Amino acid sequence: MTELRIDTDAIRSNTEVVAALLRRHGLDLVGVTKGCLGEPRVAKAMMEGGASALADTRDPNLRRLRTALPGVELHRIHLPSLAEPFEPGDITYVSSSAGAEAVAALGGSRRPRRVMVQVETGDEREGAPLELLPDLAMAIVADSRLELTGIATNYACFRGEPAGIRGSVAAVAQAAAALRAAGLLTPRVSGGNSSVLWLLAQGETLPSQVTELRCGEALLLGQDALFYRALPGCRTDACVLRAEVLEEYTRPAPDGGARRLVLGIGRQDLASGRVKFLRPGLEEIGRSADYLVAEATAEFEGAFVGETLEMIPAYEALVAAWTSPYVELRLL
């Protein structure tokens, strides 16, 4: 069966590297576990590596984390549902007055529910428009059931281009400064995700208002989420896919015959996420629902039917493989 092998020691090591990088800039690391379905053993490795808190988007994942790691601060970074009950985090992200009201209406807590306001800074996905942030923040402060813990942003997950990353961080920092100048306490400012690490790895600094980053891809795959480059000191082999060669023939190709391999993994397991073969000389040329077709170059030393080949998944492929019922998960 196709297998996804997870090296928790490598994830712990990656977390140590990223946490140390952030500490040098006075920043905290919030480890994001949505890519691993809130797997407690992976979450534990992140905490041991230096994460100060954990974040996830899905209610079942948050419940798993709360049961397995009591006392760890959990962030619900998915916007609240208005249609059905949801699992709050110790800090819950909101982007509208309706979302804030949904959190306030949960009850069941002897102290106000802590919320972070998600603001939109160029990714064109979720987040309150910056011009509406002051009114939303004031409404939260006026509600005794809520506590404004800070603000956050997200970038490079939907439409954010690399050139806009500095502007995104600057915008959330300026928004925090404006709120503080208006007398609204915003002690925590989450400046973004693993895409921001590219700036820090180059030696740049972030605005002083930023207090933390939320990182998942960097801890699981050892790379930034902007240019997908390996971060200095991180391991890129913490998550490895292993798939069987089911067929091997020389097939017609535009420039003559080409040796092609058919592997037992496909879109059902990887979605459209990229994979990189560990053995040189092999490159994917396409995939269908159940198969991946790879083409070998002259430097490829060969593989036979029944052999298992290893691949490093991109983040999208990792998430798809982790949720596929056809991929066996093996934690080392």
279 inside domain: yes
219 touches 8 (CB < 8 A): no
Q: Are residues 115 and 261 in the same domain?
A: no
pLDDT tens, residue by residue, 198-211: 999 999 999 999 99
Q: Are residues 90 and 35 in the same domain?
A: yes
Q: How many domains does the chain have?
A: 2
226 inside domain: no
The predicted pLDDT at position 120 comes to 97
Q: Are residues 213 and 245 in the same domain?
A: no
Give the chain's residues under pLDDT 70: none
Q: Are residues 216 and 243 in the same domain?
A: no
Q: Are residues 198 and 249 in the same domain?
A: no
Amino acid at 94: V
173 touches 207 (CB < 8 A): yes
Contacts of 256 by beta carbon, 8 Å cutoff, 6+ apart = none
Q: What is the DSSP letter of 308?
A: E
Q: Are residues 266 and 209 in the same domain?
A: no
The predicted pLDDT at position 253 comes to 78
Q: Are residues 215 and 287 in the same domain?
A: no
Q: Are residues 48 and 188 in the same domain?
A: yes
**Residue whose structure tokens are 């809130």:** 38
The predicted pLDDT at position 256 comes to 75
The separation between CA 64 and the C-alpha centre of its own chain, rounded to angstroms, equals 18
The DSSP annotation for 109-152 comes to: -SSPEEEEEEE-SSSSSSSB-GGGHHHHHHHHHH-TTEEEEEEE
Burial class of residue 295, CB neighbours in 10 A (0-12, 13-18, 19+): middle
The predicted pLDDT at position 326 comes to 95
The predicted pLDDT at position 169 comes to 97
Going 148 to 152 to 157 to 159, the CA torsion angle's sign is: positive
Q: Are residues 169 and 269 in the same domain?
A: no
User: What's the chain's average pLDDT?
Assistant: 95
Q: Are residues 149 and 259 in the same domain?
A: no
96 touches 74 (CB < 8 A): no
The predicted pLDDT at position 301 comes to 77
Q: Residue 202: count other Cβ atoms within 10 Å of its Cβ.
A: 7
Amino acid at 259: R
**Phi, psi of 210, deg, nearest 5:** -75, 130
Q: Are residues 215 and 278 in the same domain?
A: no
Nearest to 157 by CA among 129, 188, 202, 120: 120
The predicted pLDDT at position 302 comes to 75
| Domain residue limits at 39 | 8-221
119: tokens are 């603001």
239 touches 321 (CB < 8 A): no
Q: Which residues are paired to 115 by β-bridges?
A: 92, 148
pLDDT tens, residue by residue, 10-68: 999 999 999 999 999 999 999 999 999 999 999 999 999 999 999 999 999 999 999 99
Q: Residue 241: count other Cβ atoms within 10 Å of its Cβ.
A: 27
265 inside domain: yes
291 inside domain: yes
| 66: CATH | 3.20.20.10
Separation CA 196–CA 193 (nearest Å): 6
32 touches 56 (CB < 8 A): yes
**Residue whose structure tokens are 């503080």:** 180
pLDDT tens, residue by residue, 84-104: 899 999 999 999 999 999 999
Q: Are residues 189 and 252 in the same domain?
A: no
Q: Which residues are paired to 30 by β-bridges?
A: 53, 214
**pTM of the model as a whole:** 0.94
Amino acid at 11: I
